[in-house]
């Protein structure tokens, strides 16, 4: 389950349509009012996800762009990207080349350490400056994405405490 912030108008709409004690959930109301669901197979979902041009871009937005359907734009990309170092990661990679963090210069990357050991990102100065301190277990640290970064063309980002085998896959494109 995810928690999202909404403005007062959206909240009041949900309450007026039955959200609350003993009523329907916000998800039920929003699905009824907004969402038209289609079923697609896992391969197509993975392919569509790979076409995202901004972090968190919705499948609906990707489909609109790829199918040439113009109209109301989707929400702009979030200003913050949340990434969790999974429990049990230890000296291993933080993520995989198939599931990189994708960002845009100017966004803030918040790294949560859900592992039992400290971690520290090691960068070559891009996409953000090399971290001076570890991220202790159960805490987080923020990094402003300051420069474009392509892991295929640049020195790899990895865990400073565990070395190059503890890779962190991230891809950052220029803003605009």
CATH of span 80-173? 2.60.40.420
**82 or 175, greater pLDDT:** 82
What are the domain boundaries of the chain?
8-66, 80-173
Check pLDDT > 80 for residue 23: no
Q: Would the pLDDT of 133 be above 70?
A: yes
Mean pLDDT of 94-105: 89
The DSSP code sequence of 50-94 is HT-SSTT--HHHHHHHHTT--SSPPPPPPSEEEEEEPTT-TTS-S
**pLDDT of 76 strictly over 70:** no
Q: Which of 104, 119, 94 lies closest to 149, judged by CA?
A: 104
Supply the pTM of this predicted model.
0.58
115 pLDDT exceeds 90?
yes
- pLDDT category at 74 given cuts 50, 70, 90 is very low
Give the chain's mean pLDDT: 84
Q: What's the rounded mean pLDDT across residues 39-65?
A: 82
The CA-based diameter of the chain, rounded to the nearest angstrom, is 55
């Amino acid at each position: 389950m995810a928690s999202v912030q909404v403005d007062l108008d959206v909240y009041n709409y949900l309450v007026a349509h039955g959200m609350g004690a003993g009523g329907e959930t916000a998800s039920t109301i929003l699905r009824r009012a907004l969402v038209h669901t289609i079923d697609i197979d896992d391969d197509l979902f993975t392919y569509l996800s790979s076409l995202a041009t901004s972090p968190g871009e919705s499948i609906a937005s990707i489909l609109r762009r790829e199918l040439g359907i113009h109209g109301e734009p989707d929400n702009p990309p979030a200003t913050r990207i949340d990434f969790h170092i999974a429990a049990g990661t230890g000296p291993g990679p933080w993520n995989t080349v198939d599931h990189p963090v994708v960002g845009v210069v100017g966004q803030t990357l918040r790294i949560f350490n859900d592992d039992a050991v400290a971690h520290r990102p090691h960068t070559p100065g891009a996409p953000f400056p090399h971290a001076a301190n570890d991220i202790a277990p159960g805490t987080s640290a923020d990094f402003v994405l300051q420069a474009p970064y392509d892991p295929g063309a640049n020195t790899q980002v990895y865990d400073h405490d565990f070395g190059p085998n503890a890779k962190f896959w991230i891809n950052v494109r220029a803003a605009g």
